[in-house]
Amino acid sequence: MPTIQLPLILFLVFNSSIALLPGQTASQIIETLSSNIQTIERGVFDLNIQFKSAPLEDTASFFGKVYFFKNYDDPYGVAHFIFWYENEPICIYDDGFLFWIDHKKKTITLTSTEIYHPYELVQGNLFVSIGLYRPYLKIQGPAFDPVKFASWQVDTLPDRSAVRLSNLETYVNDLKTNPSDPDTGRHITQYEISLQENGLHNITEWDYFMQTPQYYRIEFSTIRPLPGDSTLKKIVGLASLLKSGYSMNYYDPNSEDAVPEEQSAVNSSTNLPAFALPNLDSSIIQSADLGKGLLLLDFWYRACFPCLKAMPVLEKLHQKYAKGGLTIIGINPYDKNMEALKKFLNERHISYLVLLDNEHQLAEQLNINIYPTLLLVDAASKNILHIQTGFSEDDEAALDKLIRSYLEK
């Protein structure tokens, strides 16, 4: 297994915590860590979330913070929380509702969690969903299951201040379409845990399945305790937002006319900028010539694992809806070798249009920093109807339904 050096970051500090000792097994270390986490009732910590999908310039980063308040009556076993981005609250869970705040539009959208689990309601927003899937917000049972770590390797870092727990899994590479692709992939998970402060430094997960590794890493700061009289409502200040002109509306993600606003990208444009980009035969395609029907733009590149997952689905949608008015266009800002890209797409039987954005002009105009990003656009007005970041198998049915609803209008 390759050695991956990860930077040390700020420690989590727990008062009256149980000590971690050198020489313990991974399960023992995790059991102690879980016991320490369970003692935290309320606090705030910073997050640095990074997604890396090839060269360093492709890394998407998110710096935010989370306030949490444990409520043991909560039916989902999730602490009430406020998720902050750029010094403003953007996502809140409290009293049976999940709130999304759009500070540009000055809107507050709430959804009842009586039917929908809070985790379900943040799917589509990668930063919030990964930031939320952390043990500090779990209020019932151990933060981590020690049994899971029984076979993990334990290494003490050179300065002996922390340990690294590592696990290697191999799996069949279901993206293999030609002999040059590897038969199997490797998934490496690593936790760095302080021996002195009994806290979690970071969690990193790597996938090696094509030419370059993919990873995401979550780095944690010291948990800062909150005063005993602190409440979620006082910190977020919903009342003051409403007084300053914010509007509030209710949203049902499973209604027939629902558009999943929780998937909107931060700082996205409301209209598609004009562009003139080359296709793989060097012919220039202009947005002004795309004036009919519905456009689905897919921002992707070769070494992006979820991008490759999305491509067969997009090809199916292309075959299904092209005659009905849907035009799918892949926008690639990173792969500059046209012949290699042609070969790559031919091997995967991709027939929809692909354009090159080698100067990153369109991607930067739209603030694209996560791949894939899918934009559904009205071709005539160039109005962006829907934005989705990331892709999983579960997205196919929802995307199909959304496209069909717009084509039928």
Architecture of domain 275-407: 3-Layer(aba) Sandwich (3.40)
Q: Is domain 26-243 in CATH 3.40.395.10, yes or no?
A: no
Whole-prediction pTM: 0.62
- Burial (CB < 10 A; 0-12, 13-18, 19+), residue 292, is exposed
Q: Beginning with the edge strand found earlier in the chain, give each strand of the sheet holding 384-389 in spatial order.
A: 353-356, 326-332, 294-299, 373-378, 384-389
Give yes or no for a contact between 162 and 5, defined as CB atoms under 8 angstroms apart. Answer: no
Condensed to tens digits (0 to 9), the pLDDT of residues 197-255 reads 767 888 998 887 766 677 888 888 878 889 989 999 889 888 889 999 999 988 776 65
Contacts of 32 (CB under 8 A, 6+ apart): 18, 19, 20, 24, 198
User: How many Cβ atoms from other residues are within 10 Å of residue 97's Cβ?
Assistant: 15
CA 190 to chain centre: 19
**Every domain of the chain and the residues it spans:** 26-243, 275-407
Cα(290)–Cα(321) distance, rounded to whole angstroms?
Answer: 16
Cα(394)–Cα(387) distance, rounded to whole angstroms?
Answer: 16
Q: Is the dihedral of CA 145, 150, 153, 157 positive or negative?
A: positive
Give the pLDDT confidence score for residue 140 in this predicted structure: 82
Among 353, 355, 379, smallest CA distance to 294 is for: 379
- Burial (CB < 10 A; 0-12, 13-18, 19+), residue 35, is middle
From first to last of the 409 residues of the chain, give the pLDDT tens digit: 233 333 222 223 333 345 666 678 999 999 988 888 888 889 898 888 887 755 444 566 788 899 999 988 898 889 999 999 888 999 999 988 999 999 988 999 999 888 788 888 887 676 787 777 667 888 888 888 899 999 999 999 888 888 999 999 998 877 666 677 778 888 999 999 987 776 788 899 888 776 667 788 888 887 888 998 999 988 988 888 999 999 998 877 665 554 444 343 434 446 899 999 999 999 999 999 998 999 999 999 887 777 888 999 999 999 999 999 999 999 999 888 889 899 889 988 999 999 999 888 898 888 887 888 999 999 999 999 888 888 877 788 889 999 999 998 7
Cα(310)–Cα(396) distance, rounded to whole angstroms?
Answer: 8
- Burial (CB < 10 A; 0-12, 13-18, 19+), residue 251, is middle
